[in-house]
């Protein structure tokens, strides 16, 4: 079974909502050319800061999410973790673009250029919707997006892969943060005063016409 991105390089997963250290340390062991002895060294490289989506990417996400009935906040959370909004991102396993489509998944979804944000997001959201409908569980859908449906079907749960479990946690936390931020941004309801009368509380009175003993017409209000 296909996965959108079966393995991520460290450089394309730095958008996680899990706080990341300021720098990435990589331990490298090499043979000293003079003595032949193994020497361990540590390479320190800075992590890129989380990026914000462009207006164009926002528009593409909104349209694709609406088309496939997926929460755009979830899509943004996946893109942030997958590529940090870098449309040219490539993982060490060859997953490409904003939503990190593998070449096989891209072909399955009819994508001709995974680095084109429009094609990449549309296909990624379509695939995500398929997984959500398949598993009826966002955690399993995210796990399948990362490791492939075959892995989820095998274990009947989030697979016991450190990368996949970390991925599900990071996307889930970012999505939760996004939901809380969106809820907090909503305008507070205007409190209604006790003596306020709303239009719904005003009922129109009925009017009846009658003729008195002198033959004159009158209007009478019926409560």
For the annotated catalytic residues, the residue numbers are: 82
> Whose CA is closest to 157, among 128, 137, 178, 184?
137
The tokens describing 211, both together, are: 């003729």
3-state class (DSSP) for residue 168: helix
- CA 117, 90, 142, 132 dihedral sign is positive
Measuring CA to CA, how many Å separate 165 from each of 92, 141, 144, 170, 172? 19, 12, 11, 9, 10
Cα maximum dimension of the chain: 130
Q: What is the DSSP letter of 205?
A: P
Q: How many residues does the chain have?
A: 223
CA dist 88 and 75 (Å) reads 18
3-state class (DSSP) for residue 17: coil
């Amino acid at each position: 079974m296909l996965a959108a991105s079966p393995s991520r390089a460290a450089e394309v997963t730095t958008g996680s909502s899990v706080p990341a250290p300021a720098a990435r340390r990589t331990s490298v062991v090499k043979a000293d050319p003079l003595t032949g002895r193994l020497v361990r060294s540590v390479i320190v490289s800075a992590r890129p800061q989380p990026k914000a989506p462009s207006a164009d990417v926002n528009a593409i996400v909104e349209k694709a999410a609406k088309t496939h009935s997926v929460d755009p906040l979830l899509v943004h959370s996946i893109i942030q973790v997958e590529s940090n909004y870098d449309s040219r991102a490539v993982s060490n396993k060859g997953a490409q673009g904003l939503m990190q489509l593998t070449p096989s998944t891209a072909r399955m979804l009819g994508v001709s250029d995974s680095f084109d944000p429009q094609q990449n997001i549309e296909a990624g959201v379509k695939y995500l919707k398929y997984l959500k409908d398949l598993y009826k569980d966002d955690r399993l859908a995210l796990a399948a997006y990362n490791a492939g449906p075959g892995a989820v079907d095998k274990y009947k749960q989030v697979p016991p892969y450190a990368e996949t479990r970390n991925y599900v946690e990071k996307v889930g936390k970012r999505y939760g943060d996004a939901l809380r931020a969106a809820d907090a941004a909503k305008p507070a309801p205007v409190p209604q005063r006790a003596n306020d009368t709303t239009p719904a509380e005003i009922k129109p009175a009925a009017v009846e016409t009658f003729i008195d003993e002198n033959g004159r017409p009158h209007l009478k209000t019926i409560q």
